[in-house]
Amino acid sequence: MSGTSEQVSVLIVGAGAAGLAAAIDLADRGLAPVVVERRAGPATHPRATALTAGTMAQMARWGIEAEVRRLGFASRHAMSIRQSLTGPEIHCVPFDDHVWTCAQDHLEAALARRARAAGAEIRYGATLASLYPAAGGMLATVTGPDGHQPVIEAQYVIGADGARSTVRQYCGITTGRASDFGHWLSILFHAPLREHISGAPFMVYRIENPAAGGGVLVPTDATTRWIHGLAWDPEQGEHTEDFTSHRCAELIRAAAGIPDLPVEIIDVRTFHMTAALADTYRAGRAILVGDAAHVFPPTSGMGLNLALHDATVAARILAITIVDGDEPSALDEYEQACRPLAEQLLAPDLAAT
Ligand SMILES: Cc1cc2nc3c(=O)[nH]c(=O)nc-3n(C[C@H](O)[C@H](O)[C@H](O)COP(=O)(O)OP(=O)(O)OC[C@H]3O[C@@H](n4cnc5c(N)ncnc54)[C@H](O)[C@@H]3O)c2cc1C
C-alpha cells in the first residue's frame, strides 16, 4: 500500500469506553494503537453510571480500581420507583449485577489516562471520513481538527464508534434486528438533592408522575451533579428549544418533589433510545466492539459494561492474531466469544417493538 502518510498496526475509531478499553489491552501487549475520536476532547456529559462486578474486576486487573472508586460513589444497588424523589417508595427493583457507581465521563477519563500511560495515542477532533480495504490492511481517511485529511494505513481497524458506527457502515454490516424506544432528553444539572435523602442514594430513581414528565433521576457524583432523563416527542411538535433552562428546572423540581429546589442546568442533550445487534462483528480486517456491535437501552444498565468486556476480548484475540501472523478469519473467535451473550441479553428488548 503506497502513497499513505502513516502506518499503524491497529487503528481504533472512537475514544468512548470500548475504544479506550481496547487501547489499554493492545498497548499493554506492545501494539501502540492509535485512537481517533470525533469529539474535540473527553466527554463531559455522562450516560452510564452503574458498573458490574465484572467491570470492577477488569479495573482491578488494569490497576485503576482504586481510582475508579475514588472518582465514583457508594449507592444502593437498585432502582427506586416513586412519585417523586422525596415521596414514598412504590416499589424497588434490585440490580443484582451492579456493584459500584461511577459516571461514564469520570470513568473514561481514568481509562484514557491508563491507555496513554500504556503507550496508546489518543487523537481528539479526528473524525473517520472513509474506510476501504486494501492489500494487507485498510485505508482510513481521518479529518483532523485543522481540516486536513491524512490517510492512515492500518493492519486492522476496531470500530468502537458507537450506535451509529461509521466503521459499521463502511464495512456494509447491517443491524437486521433493532427496536426503537423513542426520543429522550438527558438534562445534566447541579442541585443539593442529597440533603433530602437519608443514607446513600439509589442508583436510579424512576419517577411515576406525569406532571414531572416521568423519567428518571440519576446521581452522577458524590456531591450535587445529577441527570434527569425524560421522554420527549419531536413527532408531536416538540422542539429541543422548548426545553429552556427555566422549564428544565421546573421539571426537575417536580420530579424531586421540592418546589423551591435551587437548580443549575449544566447541559441538555437528546438521544434516541434503541436496541440493536449487528448481523456480524467482523468484515475483513475490521471488527466492531461496544455500541457499534450492540446497542442496549439504558434501562438494562449493560451497554457500557458489555462494551468493556467485548473490547478486552477483542484486543486479546487481535493481539494474538497480529503476533502469530494469522489470517483475519482468526478474529471470528471474538464474535463466537462475545455475540451470543449480547444476543441473549438483548432478546427481550429486540422482541419489544
Ligand atoms: C442515558 C443513558 C444511560 C446509560 N446508562 C448505562 C448504565 O448505567 N450502564 C451501562 O452499562 N450502560 C449504560 N448506557 C449505555 C452506555 O452509555 C453505552 O453502551 C456506552 O457508551 C458504549 O460505549 P462505546 O464506547 O461502545 O460507545 P460510545 O460511548 O458511543 O463511544 C463512541 C465514540 O465514537 C466516537 N465516534 C463516532 N463516530 C466517529 C467517527 N466517524 N470518527 C471518530 N470518532 C467517532 C464518538 O464521538 C464517541 O465518543 C447508558 C446509555 C444512555 C444513553
Distance 162 CA to ligand 1 centre (A): 5
The C-alpha cell at 77 is: 444497588
Q: Are 341 and 306 in contact (CB under 8 A)?
A: yes
Complete DSSP assignment for 297-326: -GGGS-HHHHHHHHHHHHHHHHHHHHHHT-
Assess if residue 330 is contained within a domain: yes
Q: Whose CA is nearest to atom 30 of ligand 1?
A: 162
**Which residues form ligand 1's pocket by a CB distance below 6 Å?**
13-19, 36-39, 47-50, 104, 127-128, 160-162, 166, 186, 229, 271, 290-291, 298, 301-305, 307
255, 217 Cβ separation under 8 angstroms: yes
Residue 72 inside a domain? The answer is no
> Could you tell me if 122 and 38 lie in one domain?
yes
Q: Give the pLDDT confidence score for residue 353 in this predicted structure.
A: 63
- Cα–Cα distance for residue pair 245/321, rounded to 1 Å: 51
> Domain tally for the chain?
2
Whether residues 199 and 220 fall in one domain: yes
Predicted pLDDT at 1: 41
Same domain, yes or no, for 232 and 333?
A: no
Same-domain pairing of 344 and 221: no
Last residue in a domain, options 258, 274, 290? 274
Same domain, 301 and 155: yes
| 267 and 321 share one domain | no
The secondary structure of 141-154 as a DSSP string is EEE-TTS---EEEE
Taking Cα atoms as reference points, which of 292, 32, 93 lies closest to residue 173?
Answer: 292
Atom number of ligand 1 nearest to Cα 204 = 8
Looking at the domain assignment, is residue 71 inside a domain? no
Same domain flag for 204 and 256:
yes
Range of the domain at 212: 77-100+181-274
Ligand 1 probe mutation, 39, 49, 104, 230, most atoms within 8 A of CB:
104
CATH of the domain at 151: 3.50.50.60
Taking residue 57's Cβ as centre, other Cβ atoms within 10 Å add up to: 11
Which of 213, 245, 274 represents a domain boundary (last residue)?
Answer: 274
List per-block mean pLDDT (blocks of 10 residues) for the chain, which spans 353 residues. 73 98 97 96 95 97 98 96 96 94 98 98 97 94 92 97 97 92 96 96 94 90 97 89 94 96 97 94 97 93 95 97 91 96 93 75
Whether 131 and 264 map to the same domain: the answer is no
Residues 92 and 108 in one domain: no
pLDDT at 2: 38
